[in-house]
Amino acid sequence: MKIGVFSTFMSPISTGEMVMDFGRKAEAAGLDSIWLGEHVVLFNEMEFPYPGSPDGRIPVPEGGGLLDTVATFGMLAAVTKKVRFGTGIALIPQRNPIYTANEFATLDWLTGGRMDLGIGVGWCKEEVIACGYEWETRGARCNEFLELFQKLWTEDEVTYHGKHVSVDKVRLDPKPVQDPHIPIIVGGYSDAALDRTARFGDGWYGFNSDPAATGEFLTRLDAVLEKAGRKRGDDFEIVITPPYQVDADMVKQYADLGVDRVVPMLGGQRPDQIDRRMDLLHELVSLDA
């Protein structure tokens, strides 16, 4: 079982010095990976509430915001040598696909092949619209962008014509270090997310999912993968971020379900809070030592 950590770094607490110190501590603790969440703008009022908090709002410090994932990964990469990096998740249908393909290929190149691209369509309608896209077409747009990523990362010259993106004879370099390309880890629980996982996924990412819910979903996932001629195994991994109160027994339950990587939430980002959480994460890492 691989043990990572999930965080969404937020200003004003998360300074450059704090982020780099965190990266060093994560690697020293033996963590397998660091996963970062993404939101580029926030809203005081939203049509659909944030599912991860009681009041339906993203818990951000007063006057603060979420740090950009790509820039933050760059700082983390500068102070680490082994730990992997993953997006949990990148909001693909509200991103520019060419920039996104280039950014993550560059990160994979600079880190020597340490990137995982966790992807999803997102839940915040206002954010998608603010980024210049239609809310209703985000699923179809996500699928086209993923098709384009795979081509840009593996082909010398790419021509692609879809309904939502079109390019002619473009070249993207550097290519990712990983073969055939950066692993795409699909998040989401809907039927559309399942189909996307079977079609594009090198894995599936479940967020805030306890062992019981994870087991139920994996039964659905296995059926969809089998229909597509695929199955869980060496080339397809399950990544889970459990509820905050995670312990050794819970990790064992995930292992029994065939989960490959458990990525607990970091929680508070003050130095004392990070140190306490790192102690727990190191204990979980030590279970397999």
Range of the domain at 126: 2-286
pLDDT at 237: 97
d(CA 61, CA 10): 7
d(CA 106, CA 238): 25
Per-residue pLDDT of the chain (289 residues; tens, 9 = 90+): 999 999 999 999 999 999 999 999 999 999 999 999 999 999 989 999 887 777 777 888 888 899 999 999 999 999 999 999 999 999 999 999 999 999 999 999 999 999 999 999 999 999 999 999 999 999 999 999 999 999 999 999 999 999 999 999 999 999 999 999 999 999 999 999 999 999 999 999 999 999 999 999 999 999 999 999 999 987 899 999 999 999 999 999 999 999 999 999 999 999 999 999 999 999 999 986 5
Cβ pair 23, 75 in contact under 8 A: yes
Q: What is the identity of the amino acid at 148? A: L
Give the global pTM. Answer: 0.96
Give the CATH number for residue 238: 3.20.20.30
pLDDT at 233: 87
d(CA 172, CA 92): 18
Give the residue from 66, 87, 75 showing the smallest Cα distance to 111.
75
Alpha helices in the chain (DSSP H): 16-28, 69-78, 97-110, 125-130, 138-154, 191-200, 211-227, 248-257, 271-286
pLDDT at 27: 97
Alpha helices in 117-262 (DSSP H): 125-130, 138-154, 191-200, 211-227, 248-257
Domain count across the chain: 1
pLDDT at 55: 79
